[in-house]
Copies of this chain bind each other. A is one copy, B any other.
Amino acid sequence: MSAEADPITDELSELVFQVAGRLRGGFNAAAAELGLPPAQALLLANLSAPTPMRELAVWLSCEPSNVTGIVDGLERRGLVARRPYPADRRVKYVVLTEEGERGRAELRARSQAQARALFASLDADKEHLRDLLAAVVAGAPAPDEAQIPRR
Protein backbone atom coordinates (compact mmCIF):
# COMPACT_ATOMS: atom_id res chain seq x y z
CA MET A 1 0.00 0.00 0.00
CA SER A 2 1.34 3.40 -0.91
CA ALA A 3 1.97 6.35 1.38
CA GLU A 4 -0.91 8.16 -0.26
CA ALA A 5 -3.37 5.43 0.72
CA ASP A 6 -4.09 7.02 4.11
CA PRO A 7 -3.90 10.80 3.83
CA ILE A 8 -5.56 11.49 7.18
CA THR A 9 -2.73 9.75 9.03
CA ASP A 10 -0.16 11.87 7.22
CA GLU A 11 -2.10 15.02 8.08
CA LEU A 12 -2.38 14.06 11.74
CA SER A 13 1.33 13.26 12.00
CA GLU A 14 2.32 16.50 10.32
CA LEU A 15 0.03 18.59 12.54
CA VAL A 16 1.13 16.91 15.76
CA PHE A 17 4.76 17.59 14.84
CA GLN A 18 3.95 21.23 14.08
CA VAL A 19 2.15 21.82 17.36
CA ALA A 20 4.78 19.97 19.36
CA GLY A 21 7.51 21.96 17.60
CA ARG A 22 5.93 25.23 18.62
CA LEU A 23 5.47 24.05 22.19
CA ARG A 24 9.08 22.94 22.36
CA GLY A 25 10.25 26.20 20.83
CA GLY A 26 8.30 28.15 23.44
CA PHE A 27 9.71 26.05 26.24
CA ASN A 28 13.29 26.36 25.00
CA ALA A 29 12.85 30.12 24.61
CA ALA A 30 11.58 30.38 28.17
CA ALA A 31 14.54 28.29 29.32
CA ALA A 32 17.00 30.47 27.40
CA GLU A 33 15.58 33.59 29.04
CA LEU A 34 16.56 32.03 32.36
CA GLY A 35 19.97 31.03 31.02
CA LEU A 36 19.19 27.31 31.07
CA PRO A 37 20.02 24.74 28.39
CA PRO A 38 16.98 22.66 27.35
CA ALA A 39 17.96 19.49 29.18
CA GLN A 40 18.55 21.30 32.48
CA ALA A 41 15.29 23.21 32.07
CA LEU A 42 13.35 20.01 31.40
CA LEU A 43 14.67 18.44 34.57
CA LEU A 44 14.01 21.58 36.62
CA ALA A 45 10.45 21.91 35.32
CA ASN A 46 9.63 18.33 36.33
CA LEU A 47 11.40 18.23 39.69
CA SER A 48 8.63 18.79 42.22
CA ALA A 49 9.86 16.52 45.01
CA PRO A 50 13.21 15.00 46.08
CA THR A 51 14.03 12.29 43.55
CA PRO A 52 16.86 9.74 43.16
CA MET A 53 19.16 10.25 40.20
CA ARG A 54 18.10 6.88 38.79
CA GLU A 55 14.47 7.94 38.59
CA LEU A 56 15.39 11.19 36.84
CA ALA A 57 17.00 9.13 34.08
CA VAL A 58 13.66 7.37 33.57
CA TRP A 59 11.81 10.70 33.45
CA LEU A 60 14.20 12.07 30.86
CA SER A 61 14.33 8.82 28.88
CA CYS A 62 18.11 8.85 28.91
CA GLU A 63 20.98 6.91 30.44
CA PRO A 64 21.81 7.53 34.11
CA SER A 65 25.32 8.61 33.15
CA ASN A 66 23.85 11.69 31.45
CA VAL A 67 21.88 12.74 34.50
CA THR A 68 25.15 13.37 36.30
CA GLY A 69 26.07 16.20 33.93
CA ILE A 70 22.60 17.72 33.86
CA VAL A 71 22.38 17.77 37.66
CA ASP A 72 25.96 19.13 37.78
CA GLY A 73 24.80 22.10 35.73
CA LEU A 74 21.75 22.79 37.88
CA GLU A 75 23.86 22.41 41.02
CA ARG A 76 26.47 24.86 39.69
CA ARG A 77 23.68 27.40 39.24
CA GLY A 78 22.50 26.79 42.79
CA LEU A 79 19.09 25.50 41.69
CA VAL A 80 19.35 21.96 43.06
CA ALA A 81 21.43 20.06 45.62
CA ARG A 82 22.41 16.41 46.03
CA ARG A 83 21.31 14.95 49.34
CA PRO A 84 22.47 11.59 50.75
CA TYR A 85 19.88 8.92 51.47
CA PRO A 86 20.81 7.18 54.75
CA ALA A 87 18.67 4.08 54.15
CA ASP A 88 20.76 3.25 51.05
CA ARG A 89 24.01 5.11 50.89
CA ARG A 90 24.50 4.42 47.19
CA VAL A 91 21.51 6.63 46.40
CA LYS A 92 21.52 10.42 46.08
CA TYR A 93 18.34 12.46 46.12
CA VAL A 94 18.15 15.61 44.03
CA VAL A 95 16.26 18.41 45.78
CA LEU A 96 15.31 21.96 44.79
CA THR A 97 16.98 24.82 46.62
CA GLU A 98 14.93 27.92 47.44
CA GLU A 99 16.34 29.57 44.33
CA GLY A 100 15.48 26.41 42.45
CA GLU A 101 11.87 26.64 43.60
CA ARG A 102 11.70 30.22 42.32
CA GLY A 103 13.41 29.33 39.04
CA ARG A 104 11.11 26.39 38.50
CA ALA A 105 8.00 28.50 39.11
CA GLU A 106 9.30 31.19 36.76
CA LEU A 107 10.17 28.68 34.06
CA ARG A 108 6.78 26.99 34.30
CA ALA A 109 4.93 30.30 34.27
CA ARG A 110 6.77 31.50 31.16
CA SER A 111 6.45 28.28 29.21
CA GLN A 112 2.81 27.98 30.18
CA ALA A 113 2.13 31.51 28.96
CA GLN A 114 3.47 30.50 25.53
CA ALA A 115 1.41 27.32 25.52
CA ARG A 116 -1.71 29.23 26.53
CA ALA A 117 -1.23 31.60 23.61
CA LEU A 118 -0.77 28.67 21.25
CA PHE A 119 -4.04 27.03 22.26
CA ALA A 120 -5.98 30.27 22.83
CA SER A 121 -7.88 30.16 19.56
CA LEU A 122 -9.53 26.88 20.53
CA ASP A 123 -11.63 28.48 23.27
CA ALA A 124 -14.10 25.90 24.52
CA ASP A 125 -12.71 23.21 22.22
CA LYS A 126 -9.65 22.80 24.41
CA GLU A 127 -11.34 20.11 26.48
CA HIS A 128 -12.30 18.40 23.27
CA LEU A 129 -8.75 18.36 21.96
CA ARG A 130 -7.52 17.09 25.31
CA ASP A 131 -9.97 14.21 25.26
CA LEU A 132 -9.02 13.18 21.74
CA LEU A 133 -5.29 13.27 22.51
CA ALA A 134 -5.88 11.36 25.73
CA ALA A 135 -7.73 8.73 23.71
CA VAL A 136 -4.71 8.41 21.40
CA VAL A 137 -2.35 7.92 24.32
CA ALA A 138 -4.68 5.52 26.10
CA GLY A 139 -5.61 3.55 22.99
CA ALA A 140 -2.15 2.93 21.62
CA PRO A 141 0.31 0.43 23.07
CA ALA A 142 3.19 2.23 24.76
CA PRO A 143 6.38 1.61 22.76
CA ASP A 144 8.41 1.93 25.97
CA GLU A 145 7.26 3.16 29.34
CA ALA A 146 9.55 6.19 29.58
CA GLN A 147 7.42 9.35 29.42
CA ILE A 148 7.90 12.16 31.95
CA PRO A 149 4.67 11.33 33.72
CA ARG A 150 3.54 13.60 36.54
CA ARG A 151 4.12 17.16 37.63
- Which residues from chain A sit less than 8 Å from chain B, CB to CB? 1-3, 6, 8-26, 29, 105, 108-109, 112, 115-122, 125-130, 132-144, 147-148, 151
Question: Are B112 and A136 in contact, CB atoms less than 8 angstroms apart?
Answer: no
In the assembled complex, the Cα of A10 lies from the Cα of B114 at a distance in Å of 11
Complex copy number for this chain? 2
- Complex: chain B residue closest to A106, CB-CB: B3
Q: Which 4 A-B pairs have the closest CB atoms?
A: A121-B139, A20-B20, A15-B133, A3-B108
Known: A8-B127, A121-B136. 14 other contacts (CB 8 A): A1-B109, A6-B112, A9-B126, A10-B112, A11-B130, A12-B133, A13-B115, A14-B148, A15-B133, A18-B137, A20-B20, A121-B140, A122-B136, A122-B139
Best-surrounded residue of A128, A132, A147 (most CB of chain B within 10 A): A132
